């Protein structure tokens, strides 16, 4: 079960991961997509790098 503390910890981890530069070719684009995660019962952000 996902409680508030776990949600905040996951959000903080995701924010920290965004600060780390992604190793990819220059010119890559970041695409943020919102998806519904049935296991969590809520929306979740998926961040991808596309060329």
CA 6 to mean position of chain CA atoms: 15
- Percentage with pLDDT > 70 across the chain: 71
Q: Domain boundaries in the chain? A: 26-50
Contacts for 32 with CB less than 8 Å, ≥ 6 apart: 45, 46, 47
Rounded to 5 degrees, what are φ and ψ at 38? -65, -35
Predicted pLDDT of residue 24: 47
Predicted pLDDT of residue 10: 78
Predicted pLDDT of residue 19: 61
Predicted model pTM: 0.41
Rounded to 5 degrees, what are φ and ψ at 22? -85, 130
Pairwise pLDDT comparison (34 vs 20), residue with the higher score: 34
Band (pLDDT 50/70/90 cuts) for residue 47 is confident
Predicted pLDDT of residue 30: 85
């Amino acid at each position: 079960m996902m409680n508030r503390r776990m949600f905040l910890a996951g959000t903080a981890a995701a924010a920290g991961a965004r600060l780390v530069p992604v190793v990819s070719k220059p010119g890559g684009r970041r695409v943020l997509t919102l998806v519904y995660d049935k296991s969590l019962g809520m929306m979740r952000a998926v961040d991808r790098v596309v060329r």
